Amino acid sequence: MIYIGTSGFSYDDWKGEFYPAKIAKKDMLAYYARSFGAVEINSTYYAIPGAASFASMDKKTPDDFRFVVKAHKDMTHAETTNAAGFDAFMGAIGPLIDSGKLGCVLAQYPWGFKPNEVNIGRLRDLRDRVGDVRTVVEFRNSEWVSDETFGLLRELDLGFCCVDEPQLKGLMPKVSVVTSETGYIRFHGRNARNWWKHEESHERYDYLYSEEELSEWVPKAEEVIEHARDTYMFFNNHYRGKSAINARMFARMLGLPLPMEQISEPRQMSLGEDF
């Protein structure tokens, strides 16, 4: 199966862009699920909700909808293992596991997480603690791009997250690699100017891809799809609904249908706008 969606869905600045202007927060997910078949939940990086929150999300989406849930920061950014944090996270996503709607867990590590024996041990520990739950690893540091890393991930049955982001020194290059049955691509935008220097976090992801830029990823995505059982592609350039625009654009470039193509389009921004 192939899933395309956005990183997050509950954004106030999407009102009047992707969502109706007066939509209530509680209605956003059901509306989103009319347009996309999967969503990446990023808020769990900052706080682990109760299982009831995911049970509620489950009820608002169709049976074939899929959730990817980002690991809490204590699971990926702490120097020592926080067993209680792992247990709380795994308990929270229980309703999605039970309903069959959990696509996978996304474990995103910081730029300072570099390949060495200690950090390889942390990856092994991650595998042990998530059990048989499908898990994908996103590295932020380019030093991980090597045959040794890909071999390790295959050994641990951990997926590799391919990324598109500004081509700045030390960041991840554009590669298409599959190391488990789960293929994964994240599009962060190419806002090099605000990647390291920004006042608000959303400034990093304030970017609208052109069709020409996304065309670079068509053969790469097709390669991932060919070698994976399930493939997830999420757009994280979320400011003012730009991720939704690009997710639809890329789905059509790949010839993939979305759940409800007849839903009205978000406001189409000109590439000449000041974004």
Amino acid identity, position 64:
D
CA-nearest of 267, 275, 207, 204 to 15 is: 267
Structure confidence at residue 202 (pLDDT): 66
CATH classification at residue 170: 3.20.20.410
Tell me if 261 is assigned to some domain.
no
The pTM (predicted TM-score) of the whole model is: 0.90
Within 10 Å of residue 188's Cβ, how many Cβ atoms? 23
* Number of domains the chain contains: 1
Lowest mean pLDDT among 112-116, 179-183, 193-197, 212-216: 193-197
pLDDT tens sequence across 51-61: 999 999 999 99
pLDDT band at 167 (very low <50, low <70, confident <90, very high): confident
Structure confidence at residue 205 (pLDDT): 83
pLDDT tens sequence across 239-255: 989 999 999 999 999 99
Task: Give the C-alpha distances (Å, rounded to integers) separating 144 from 96, 127, 162, 171, 179.
Answer: 31, 17, 12, 10, 14
CA-nearest of 29, 91, 92 to 66 is: 29
152, pLDDT greater than 70: yes
Tell me if 50 is assigned to some domain.
yes
264, pLDDT greater than 80: no
200, pLDDT greater than 80: no
Domain limits at 15?
Answer: 2-253
pLDDT tens sequence across 209-226: 999 999 999 999 999 999
Structure confidence at residue 245 (pLDDT): 95
194, pLDDT greater than 80: no
Per-residue H/E/C for 237-269: CCHHHHHHHHHHHHHHHCCCCCCCCCCCCCCCC
Token look-up 């590439």 returns 271
Tell me if 174 is assigned to some domain.
yes
Tell me if 41 is assigned to some domain.
yes
Tell me if 92 is assigned to some domain.
yes
Tell me if 15 is assigned to some domain.
yes
Tell me if 149 is assigned to some domain.
yes
Structure confidence at residue 198 (pLDDT): 67
pLDDT tens sequence across 55-82: 999 999 999 999 999 999 999 998 888 8
134, pLDDT greater than 90: yes
Tell me if 82 is assigned to some domain.
yes
